Amino acid sequence: MERDQFLGRVRAALRGTRLPETIGPDPAPPISFGDPVARYVVAAGEAGAEIVQVEGPEAARGEIVRIAADEAFGRSGQAGFVAWDGLDAIVPGLYDDVAEAGWERIEASVGTESRLDDHQRVANASLGITGADVAIAATGSVVLGHGSGRPRAASLLVEHHIVLLPIDRIVASLQEALEITDWSMASNWVAITGPSRTGDIESILTLGVHGPRTLSIVLIR
Amino acid sequence: MPVQLFITCLVNSLYPDVGKATVALLERAGFEVEFPRDQTCCGQPAYNGGFHAEAGEQVRQTLDVLDATEGPIVVPSGSCAAMLIDHAPELVAAEPEYSAKAARVAGRTRELTQFLVAESGIDLGPVDCGRATYHASCHSLRWLDVLDQPKALLDGAGVERVELDGEDECCGFGGLFAIKSPEISAAMLHTKIDRIVASDAGVVTGVDVACLMHISAGLRRREVPIAVKHIAEVLAGSPE
Amino acid sequence: MTTFRSRIQEAFAEGVPISIDLGARGRSERRAAAAAAFPQMEAMRDRARVIRAGTIANLDDYLDAFADAAQRSGSTVFFAADAAEARNYIVDLARREQVTRAVKVKSMVTEEIGLNAALAAAGVETVETDLGEFIVQLAGETPAHFVAPAIHMDRYQIAELFVDKLGVGYTDDPVELTGIARRHLRPRFLTAEMGISGVNFGVADDGSIALVTNEGNGLLCTTVPRIHVAVMGMERLVPTRSDLAVMLEVLARSASGQGLTSYTSIVNGPRRPGEPDGPDQLHLVIVDNGRSATLGSTVAEILYCIRCGACLNVCPVYRHLGGHPYGSVYAGPVGAVITPSLYGLEEWHDLPATSSLCGACAEVCPVRIDIPSLLVELRRQSVDRSPPSISAGVRLFAALTTRPRLYRFVTRALGWLGRLWSRDGWMRRMPLVLGSWTRDRDLPSPAAETFNDWWRRSRGA
């Protein structure tokens, strides 16, 4: 149906019954925490993420290498990883070190014509490494904007997702996170809270469904 | 100022002892009780069933009777009190004369335990009725916020009380619902009775005669020997 | 056409799975715990209602702004007057784009419009990817709940189902069953040309849509395939991103007791030049299908609903039945209002009739919809469809109760008669309409003396 006709039906319906409701400003005070970082660490843990705090980029590099070398990951038999570009600005030497730990970086770009083949290639990656644009203390979430150089696959198609999170990215609430985000940067944003999960079988919580099975957050002071 | 007793049609016909116990309690609390004899039904079953023309007739009759009196209106049934407080004014909103009556009556109306806790320093104790459990009738709980008051009265009277698991779950009565949808109504009743049995209480009590009637009807059919008493009967120490 | 009552009788005869009640109670408890742990919950619910009420009251303007903004972001917007238009648009798109396989995220509105069957008829293999929906699809059934579609099945049934339909070895361990589903569905995600989702909220300001899932399938369906089709009930808008934040705060807490679900994504158009992955096309299908009629009705408030399922979880009727006996895509308290509203009271008046009006739903609704009032309003519109015996009884009772002296006389007489029929103050078998009471319950007999007569006798007044 044409838009005008469709909206005409809506207008006609509202004619007799248009409620005198207007949305004024929100009177409630913003959500805040005395120690947002401490809150973040607790909340992320409760959501099922592994969270490690490190002092500085060197320690972060060491931690990532430790996680990447973890035997548990190797058991899946795949050693490919996908990652955002530019993470070596936060942690210099990151890509080389992960490669040295036995992981091969897989090109994550998907072409319009070669989509099927490209996705099959990307699906070979079992490890994904990303940054985060902002993190939410209330829920222990990380918010990722999938702009240029930031494949969604790195937080989605892989089994294990590692997030590099500089501590100054933490804000208190979802409201604040949505407010400070520069939406023009990407067509797709996701707030990730813990690994993927379901309660669909007898309401029993199972982690690791279609998205990553594990989420590791490296919190860099 | 006297209190006006709105006894409710179920108490009048089926459970007059609840009414007598209510009178006894109010008098013990130091109130003079009056009973406007032309009262009949607040109109709730018709209202809930969608029969708003009939409910309107009943509401207007009730408002005429009650508005001709003075003082608090005390009701030993949460759902009927909620009808007078919340729904009667809506039903007659388009009629200025009755709308004014409804507002006045709504302002004066209290469920019994609400009234006793708020208005009186009633000395109740001690009451021994065995182990009792409290069923929180839906309308009393959700429309009138009545939960702490009856429990406070029971505890204050030294009643041995156990919490009812799922106390806020509906007993399944729902007025006409009980006969229009008997299978689901009975299923809800059975769930409630299972909870009451599991509580190990010898008496189940509450503030709404409709629920208590439904519960006692099911207990009786299942031959479960748990007594059902309105809170007024418990507090007044009703005869066996 | 069956009635709700006959479907209830059938459900009881077959035995309602206990998992329905257990699952509903579990989710109710988690909701209560999340609300208690969130000091701003009540304020957020108040605000959420204000936002939804304001949006619905001006829905035409917000839809207009939404469509404009979405188009500027590169989305294709289609307005579907009804289910058929929505289905046809999507099927035509699939044909044009030579889609052979589509992957779907759980979406009530796509159930409502009957999309899967239409796509299948057009030769498109449509795979449900949400674990519960996947299970239900394999079983050839419909979902039993908005949030937990397979709540009516236990692990053993699911295990048998997987053996039967997927040819895997038997396991009833939920972790292993989940792993089987993940491995089965992964290749389907990777080879589907089209991903279909619903929309939790559209943001009118900028044309973006929010999708809320726990499993990750939402993101997979809307990232991997080259075409993303998002189907949106036209009422599912909020004005701004900060309004969206409020809605998200109350949605996951109300639905599953979480602060946020594992994945909350905000999508604004297909992928932009330079973005490494994501769909190349995003189609927004905005569906009316009876919503404008609801908007103009006395139960318009039901359009505030954000499909959290909290009302289903606390409803004693739902807990005793599950979703299937309702016979509609939308079950529980919200379903009892929206189903007759979208599809007509003629066929569906028995849904709103089947409630005790306990109010548990209104107590938990994140946008504070007064569902009991809406049920009473629908009953008011249906009185002509009441069984004659009940209408007659109500009218008779009204006639009596508006004549106090006659009322006193009749109640006195009934007391006398009732005692003739009863044993120990109870009646066991009653005829006609009261027979439906006495099938399962005894009926108390009238007292020897009414309170009114006692008062006159003992007080002389």
Q: Using one digit for the tens of pLDDT, what is the confidence trace for A24-51?
A: 888 778 888 999 999 999 999 999 999 9
Claim to verify: residue C370 and residue C278 sit in the same structural domain: no
Greatest C-alpha distance within chain B: 52
Claim to verify: residue C208 and residue C329 sit in the same structural domain: no
Number of domains into which chain C is organized: 3
Residue C274 lies in a domain: yes
Q: Which of residues 273-312 of C touch A (CB under 8 A)?
A: 274-278, 280, 286, 288, 292-293, 295-298, 300
C223/A contact by beta carbon, under 8 A: yes
Q: Which helix (H) or strand (E) holds C348?
A: helix C345-348
**Beta-carbon separation of C401 and B58 below 8 A:** yes
Chain C residues in contact with B143 by the CB 8 A cut-off are: 359
**What amino acid is encoded at A71 in this protein?**
E
Residue C41 lies in a domain: no
Taking 90 as the threshold, does the pLDDT of residue B217 lie above it?
yes
Which residue from C398, C433, C437 is facing B58, i.e. has the nearest CB? Answer: C398
Claim to verify: residue C345 and residue C412 sit in the same structural domain: no
Domain with C401 in it = 389-459
* Reduced 3-state DSSP string for chain B: CCEEECCCHHHHHCCHHHHHHHHHHHHHCCCCEECCCCCCCCCHHHHHCCCHHHHHHHHHHHHHHHHCCCCCEEECCHHHHHHHHHHHHHHCCCCHHHHHHHHHHHHHEEEHHHHHHHHCCCCCCCCCCCCEEECCCHHHHHHHCCCHHHHHHHHHCCCCEECCCCCCCCCCCCCCHHHHCHHHHHHHHHHHHHHHHHCCCCEEEECCHHHHHHHHHHHHHCCCCCEEEEHHHHHHCCCC
Q: Which of residues 130-149 of C touch A (CB under 8 A)?
A: 130-132, 135, 148-149
Min Cα–Cα distance to chain B from C433, Å: 7
Min Cα–Cα distance to chain A from C166, Å: 17
Q: What is the mean pLDDT of chain A?
A: 90
* Domain stop point among C289, C321, C352: C289
Average pLDDT over residues C23-49: 95
B200/C contact by beta carbon, under 8 A: no
Tell me the domains of chain A and their CATH numbers.
Answer: 32-200+212-220 (3.40.50.10420)
* Domain stop point among C385, C417, C436: C385
* Domain stop point among C356, C385, C414: C385
Residue C69 lies in a domain: yes
Task: Search chain C and give the residue with CA nearest B21.
Answer: C451
| Predicted pLDDT of residue B240 | 39
Q: How far apart are CA C125 and CA C127, in angstroms?
A: 6
Q: Quick one: pLDDT band at residue B237, thresholds 50, 70, 90?
A: confident
Task: Search chain C and give the residue with CA nearest A177.
Answer: C245
* Contact in structure between B8 and B230 (CB atoms under 8 Å): no
**Residues B87-97: tens digit of each pLDDT:** 999 999 999 99
**Beta-carbon separation of C444 and B217 below 8 A:** yes
**Beta-carbon separation of C260 and A141 below 8 A:** yes
Domain topology for B124-236: Rossmann fold (3.40.50)
Q: Residue A81 CB: number of other CB atoms within 10 A? A: 27
What SS3 state is found at C229? strand
Tell me which of C3, C374, C409, C455 to substitute to probe the interface with B (most B C-beta atoms closer than 10 Å).
Answer: C455
Q: Quick one: pLDDT band at residue B177, thresholds 50, 70, 90?
A: very high
Residue C12 lies in a domain: no
Min Cα–Cα distance to chain C from A151, Å: 5
B57/C contact by beta carbon, under 8 A: yes
The set of long-range contacts for B97-101, using a CB threshold of 8 Å and a minimum separation of 24, is: B98/B59, B98/B60, B98/B63, B101/B63, B101/B64, B101/B67
Claim to verify: residue C144 and residue C266 sit in the same structural domain: yes
Percent of chain A predicted with pLDDT > 90: 68
Count, in order, helices (H) and strands (E) of chain C. Answer: 24, 12
Task: Search chain B and give the residue with CA nearest C400.
Answer: B40
**Residues A123-176: tens digit of each pLDDT:** 889 899 999 999 999 999 999 999 999 999 999 999 899 999 999 999 999 999
Claim to verify: residue C379 and residue C396 sit in the same structural domain: no
Residue C54 lies in a domain: no
* Contact in structure between C336 and C374 (CB atoms under 8 Å): no
Min Cα–Cα distance to chain A from C115, Å: 18
Which residue from C129, C234, C259 is facing A210, i.e. has the nearest CB? Answer: C129
Which residue from C5, C400, C401 is facing B181, i.e. has the nearest CB? Answer: C5
CA distances from C261 to A132, C215, C311, C373 (A): 17, 9, 19, 31
**Residues A48-68: tens digit of each pLDDT:** 999 999 999 999 999 998 888
Claim to verify: residue C118 and residue C181 sit in the same structural domain: yes
Tell me which of C128, C146, C147, C262 to substitute to probe the interface with A (most A C-beta atoms closer than 10 Å).
Answer: C262
Claim to verify: residue C250 and residue C342 sit in the same structural domain: no
Q: Where are the domains of chain B?
A: 3-117, 124-236
